[in-house]
């Protein structure tokens, strides 16, 4: 039985098109979240992307029928620049479809409470991951300016649409996104939270990819205010690692948060 990778929630492929997810003790809430998200999205199509269907739900496991396609990360290196831009556009369209979905079944954790909890341990968490002091001392003042990342509209978020969770397939028309998987971290929040993570983890500071994702989402206002808000969103993301991102995405010439926002989210 093929195991995907070393994930917090172990996942296996016991048969073609079937995924078995095992939820260890302490991850019961992730199981409930995934069930709620998939029941909410049942029968929905996110642009051309499908979602898994629940075949069986046990106390500590889920058996899912997977959408067609393979993980985006398996084929990214094979794609040309133009093909990557097409996929980036599809990812934006997929997120747009997700954000327009109803979300009545998903347990609602107040967004302000989530932000406050993430902010409380932010500096210590990033210090433990090796972030440089010149950046650590700017985190709290920067977020203080962001008004708790407030939002008037909360939508259904995947929170981790990236190389391992987007499924792709190559057909007569080229590469396309065919599915989205792993909804155990789904939540309600502002759409920029999803956008920021996909831009950070897939576009990785490359302007053409950033622009195509934003095109798919029909984001009209593109300015420093948007870049700052996107940076604020990734700072409170549970999976964010500042030191790793500085290594992979680069450091701006001027060591300010505004310049970091411009470098990581070029418009």
Residue 151's closest CA among 121, 114, 112?
A: 112
Average pLDDT for residues 107-114, to the nearest whole number? 84
Q: What tokens appear for 132 in the block?
A: 């440089």
Q: What is the 3-state secondary structure (H, E, C) of 18-42?
A: EEEEECCCCCHHHHHHHHHHHHHHC
Average pLDDT for residues 58-63, to the nearest whole number? 94
Whether the pLDDT of residue 125 is over 80: the answer is: yes
Q: What is the dihedral sign for C-alpha 235, 236, 239, 241?
A: positive
Whether the pLDDT of residue 217 is over 90: the answer is: yes
With pLDDT > 90 as the criterion, what percentage of the chain qualifies? 79
Whether the pLDDT of residue 103 is over 90: the answer is: no
Tens digits of per-residue pLDDT, 138-152?
999 999 988 767 777
């Amino acid at each position: 039985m093929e195991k995907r990778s070393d994930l917090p929630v172990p996942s296996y492929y016991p048969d073609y098109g079937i995924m078995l997810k095992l939820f260890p003790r302490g991850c019961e809430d992730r199981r409930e979240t995934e069930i709620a998200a998939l029941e909410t999205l049942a029968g929905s199509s996110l642009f051309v992307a499908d979602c898994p269907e629940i075949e069986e739900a046990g106390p500590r496991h889920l058996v899912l029928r997977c959408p067609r396609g393979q993980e985006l990360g398996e084929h990214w290196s094979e794609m040309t620049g133009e093909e990557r831009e097409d996929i980036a556009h599809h990812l934006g369209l997929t997120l747009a479809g997700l954000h327009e979905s109803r979300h009545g079944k998903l347990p609602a954790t107040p967004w302000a409470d989530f932000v406050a909890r993430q902010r409380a341990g932010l500096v210590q968490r990033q210090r433990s991951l090796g972030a440089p002091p010149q950046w650590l001392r700017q985190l709290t003042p920067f977020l203080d300016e962001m008004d708790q990342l407030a939002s008037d509209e909360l939508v259904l978020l995947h929170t981790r649409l990236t190389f391992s969770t987007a499924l792709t397939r190559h057909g007569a028309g080229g590469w396309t996104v065919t599915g989205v998987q792993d909804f155990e971290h789904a939540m309600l929040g502002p759409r920029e939270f999803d956008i920021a993570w996909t831009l950070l983890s897939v576009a990785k500071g490359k302007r053409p990819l950033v622009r195509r994702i934003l095109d798919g989402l029909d984001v009209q206002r593109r300015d420093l205010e948007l870049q700052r808000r996107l940076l604020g969103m990734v700072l409170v993301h549970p999976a964010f690692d500042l030191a790793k991102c500085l290594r992979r995405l680069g450091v701006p010439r001027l060591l300010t948060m505004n310049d970091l926002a411009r470098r990581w989210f070029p418009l």
